[in-house]
Amino acid sequence: MRDQHTVSDALTFLDTAYATRTTDLKKSIRLGRKALSIAQNAKDTGLVIQCLNRLSLFYMITGSQKQALRHARHAIRLCEQTGNRKGIAEAHYNIGSVYYKSNNFDQGLKHLLASLRLYRELNDSIQIARVQKSLGTVYEYIGDQRNAGKAYEEAVRIGKRKNDLNLISNAYNPLSGIYLKKGNIKKAAQLINEAIEMKTQTGDTRGMAFSIYGRAKVCMAQGIYDRAQSDLLLALSMHREAGDKLGTGMALYRLGMLFKQQGDPVQAERHFSEALELSRKYTMAFIGFKSNYQLYLLHKAGGDRLAAMSYLEAYLEQKEQVISTQTLKIIEQYELIFREEAIQKKLQSEREKAAIIIKKDRAEQLARVKQDFLSTMSHEIRTPLNAVTSIATLLRGRADQDNGQLLDALDFASSSLLMLVNNILDFTRLEEQKVILHEKPVDLTRLTRQLYQTYLKMAEEKGLHLQLDVQGIDGLAFLTDEIRLHQVLANLLGNAIKYTDTGRISLHVSRKPVDDVFDELSFSVKDTGVGIAPENQEAIFENFYQPPSVTTRPQGGSGLGLAIVKKLLGVFGTEIHLRSARGKGSVFSFSLRLKRVAAPVSTADGQAYHLQGKKVLLAEDNMINAMVAMKLLSRQGIICEHAANGNEAVEKAASLQFDYILMDIHMPQMNGFDAAKEIRSQKKLNKETPIFALTADVTAKHEKDYQQYFAGFLAKPIQVDHIFQAMEDYTD
């Protein structure tokens, strides 16, 4: 009856054959042949290659070198036709294993290195570990213990990374022998016992046989001969049952050495002779010439000079054949190894460079995404907030006392919201180290009084006494960044009020002259609040930190205030100090070394600016903001023309002369950047007219490509005095 097996059946046969190779090689070969026949009938070249390589492996283990080589070479021919690099790598591994196990070390190295190179290109770490273990065996055979140890350890590293117990234990077996040769019996015993434990877990019978053989070598080194003999006989039985000729030869030779050490020359000769016969039959010259040498020593010691000389001649002949004739070829292969290592180091370096570039590109992309997000969120939050604060400003002039209190509350609420938004935005910029100080003359007396007025109502609502203690700075001005200093002090005051339920809050400022130009300004915010335990005093300056006691979160907050204070003071070149105890309040303090300068000329509140009759073009797409801004501007007698988008702004600037242009940035049809650029490029009426960016986008002023088109950047929510002052300063 015609065989009805399918390709799917062939794959099942092949998988079963590979799984049983550690227990029943005859079955593996039988199933492999069956799978190959099915694959050939189905003309499935890929499956044929798999079958050929598997059969090559099985034949190699059983010592059938000719069949192993024939199948592997056939696989390579098919792989070259189809471009199957993985199949070529596996075939080279099988060929290399056949050669080194039959003591043709230079050819073994050549094919194993070819396999290693391909597996590295394919990034197949499991197969790389297998090849490294085989390379270690070759190095060990030719006496290169250092490179053997390195190869085994590399296989172990990969095995641990992949959590592959068979890979690890397969390398532990020979690595234990390396430590034995170094005289480190304790380490050798540890590795071989771990290998046996792993083999017990995986059920790898053939691998277990090699592990038990390794334990026998350790026992021999320890002088535990009964245990060594028991292990060697067990390993020999397991290798014979599995059909592993190399393992069988190794166990026979080691039994001969054991009986020789125990003073039993008869048993020693029997086992050396069996090992020698096996080596002749299966071309394992390395075991052969070592067995010949031991037989020579035994017969010489027994007085049989004729037999001794015959074994010596065979030993010398085999040694010459195995070692001397290959010396130059092995040296050539070592040159390939060193060249391969250099190539791998270069490739690794290139991979690391590529990874760095990819990481850098991702970081830059993430930064751009974050920047876009900040720009959008800044605009979306500040735009409606601008309407709130601007309308409150318009209403203040016509409000009675009761409504005035409501407007005060609205002012404070909007200011608190604005501070929260600023903190979030500034936190990101501080993390990216993009915050730069913009210094100008600052009246610290005026600054501290503004802070006092801002937080007085918040303190009074909690029944707290807010105190301002400013010494030695009246009538003086200092060169610093007013906005950032205000932000630091505002965060400290807000935090103090938040965590204080009874008592007082105080802001202290004092001056100490340093020389004719510079003064040291000391700032401190003191409270009688809950205090901070010593173990939490560093953590409170970390991002998003909330005190452990805040479980119901009545205080609220983002957990960014003190983190921003610390980072901002770092930009100032100083640091924050804290004195606190649980239940006894806290003192936050810092010092700045500032240059004394002439006091700035400020316009008193409510005083008219010299802007009567000035013509302003207001480009603003939000109609509520536009309406409010036009009303605020008209209070100073400013004549205002409105443009609803960038295109309209460009058109009106081309036909009407303006004294100033207030340009929103985020607008439909044409944004404020492009509109300003277009107005500047026109050789018309407003080529030299100052353009102020009036924007809720805090990132806008950092657009270097467009900075040249603007006289200044004014942030929303707009403070009308800032707009008037900017116009007047520019005119002056």
The CATH number covering residue 573 comes to 3.30.565.10
pLDDT of residue 409: 63
Residue 558 included in any domain = yes
Asked if 491 and 565 count as a contact pair (C-beta separation under 8 A), the reply is: yes
Residue 277 included in any domain = yes
If asked whether residues 454 and 501 sit together in one domain, one would say: yes
The Cα 377–Cα 264 span in angstroms is 90
The Cα 670–Cα 659 span in angstroms is 22
CA 151 to the chain's CA centroid? 28
List helix spans (H) across 397-473: 401-431, 444-461
| C-alpha separations of 46 from 14, 39, 82, 83, 86 in Å | 13, 9, 8, 10, 11
Q: Which residues of 333-356 are buried (b: 16+ CB within 10 A; e: fewer)?
A: bbeebeeeeeeeeeeeeeeeeeee
Which residue ranges of the chain lie beneath pLDDT 50?
1-2, 324-325, 327-328, 331, 334-335, 549-556, 558, 603-606
Residue 168 included in any domain = no
Residue 580 included in any domain = yes
The Cα 52–Cα 363 span in angstroms is 48
If asked whether residues 635 and 727 sit together in one domain, one would say: yes
Q: What is the dihedral of CA 182, 186, 191, 193, to 10 degrees?
A: 140
Helix/strand/coil for 716: coil
The Cα 196–Cα 216 span in angstroms is 12
| C-alpha separations of 448 from 550, 604, 632 in Å | 30, 17, 27
What is Dmax (Cα atoms) for the chain?
132
The Cα 495–Cα 348 span in angstroms is 52
How many other CB atoms are found less than 10 A from the CB of residue 186? 11
Residue in the structure block whose two tokens are 């409150």: 392
If asked whether residues 442 and 542 sit together in one domain, one would say: yes
Tokens (6 digits) for 493: 């005051």
The Cα 103–Cα 284 span in angstroms is 6
Strand order in the sheet with 615-619: 639-643, 615-619, 660-663, 691-695, 712-715
The angle formed by the CA atoms of residues 664, 667 and 670, to the nearest 5 degrees, is 110
Asked if 571 and 430 count as a contact pair (C-beta separation under 8 A), the reply is: yes
- 440 backbone dihedrals φ, ψ, rounded to 5°: -155, 165
Residue 408 included in any domain = no
Q: Which CATH number characterizes residue 656's domain?
A: 3.40.50.2300
Give which of 485, 441, 469, 447 is closest to 592, Cα–Cα.
Answer: 485
Give which of 219, 196, 243 is closest to 58, Cα–Cα.
Answer: 243
- 714 backbone dihedrals φ, ψ, rounded to 5°: -115, 125
pLDDT of residue 404: 64
The Cα 375–Cα 699 span in angstroms is 6
If asked whether residues 548 and 645 sit together in one domain, one would say: no
If asked whether residues 526 and 578 sit together in one domain, one would say: yes
Domain carrying residue 658: 615-731
Residues 6+ apart with CB under 8 A from 685: 653, 654, 655, 656, 657, 658
Residue in the structure block whose two tokens are 């606190």: 580
Tally: H helices and E strands in the chain: 25, 12
Q: Which residues of 385-412 are buried (b: 16+ CB within 10 A; e: fewer)?
A: bbbbbbbbbeeeeeeeeeeeeebeebbb
DSSP, res 682:
S
Give which of 417, 397, 416, 422 is closest to 407, Cα–Cα.
Answer: 397
The Cα 388–Cα 625 span in angstroms is 9
pLDDT of residue 254: 94
The Cα 522–Cα 380 span in angstroms is 38
If asked whether residues 632 and 495 sit together in one domain, one would say: no
Helix/strand/coil for 573: coil
pLDDT of residue 30: 93
The Cα 721–Cα 727 span in angstroms is 10
If asked whether residues 584 and 478 sit together in one domain, one would say: yes
SS3 per-residue string spanning 617-631: EEECCCHHHHHHHHH
The Cα 663–Cα 611 span in angstroms is 18
Going by their DSSP bridges, the two strands 691-695 and 660-663 should be labelled as: parallel
Sign for the CA dihedral angle at 716, 719, 723, 729 comes to negative
Residue in the structure block whose two tokens are 């205030």: 561
Q: What is the pLDDT of residues 468-503, one digit of tens each?
A: 999 888 888 999 988 889 889 988 998 899 889 899
Q: Summarize the chain as % helix, strand, coil (round to 5).
A: 65, 10, 25
How many other CB atoms are found less than 10 A from the CB of residue 307? 15
State pTM to two decimals: 0.47
Q: Which CATH number characterizes residue 265's domain?
A: 1.25.40.10
Residues 6+ apart with CB under 8 A from 175: 136, 149, 152, 153, 156, 191
Residue 279 included in any domain = yes
Give which of 546, 509, 510, 507 is closest to 527, Cα–Cα.
Answer: 507
The Cα 154–Cα 336 span in angstroms is 19
Residue 409 included in any domain = no
Residue where one domain finishes, among candidates 258, 287, 322: 322
Residue in the structure block whose two tokens are 């039993």: 264
Identity at 590, one-letter amino acid code: F
Give which of 676, 663, 677 is closest to 716, Cα–Cα.
Answer: 663
Going by their DSSP bridges, the two strands 712-715 and 691-695 should be labelled as: parallel
If asked whether residues 452 and 591 sit together in one domain, one would say: yes
How many other CB atoms are found less than 10 A from the CB of residue 116? 25
Residue 377 included in any domain = no
If asked whether residues 589 and 722 sit together in one domain, one would say: no
If asked whether residues 533 and 641 sit together in one domain, one would say: no
pLDDT of residue 399: 63
Residue where one domain finishes, among candidates 566, 597, 628: 597
CA 200 to the chain's CA centroid? 37
| C-alpha separations of 257 from 142, 189, 298 in Å | 20, 19, 11
Domain count for the chain: 4
The Cα 629–Cα 717 span in angstroms is 11
Q: What is the pLDDT of residues 618-644, one digit of tens each?
A: 998 878 778 878 888 887 888 999 998
Give which of 614, 725, 709, 714 is closest to 664, Cα–Cα.
Answer: 714
The Cα 131–Cα 303 span in angstroms is 46
Tokens (6 digits) for 660: 């100033």
If asked whether residues 592 and 454 sit together in one domain, one would say: yes
Q: Which residues of 83-112 are buried (b: 16+ CB within 10 A; e: fewer)?
A: ebebbbbbbbbbbbbbbbbbbbbbbbbbbb
If asked whether residues 442 and 572 sit together in one domain, one would say: yes
Residue where one domain finishes, among candidates 123, 142, 159: 123
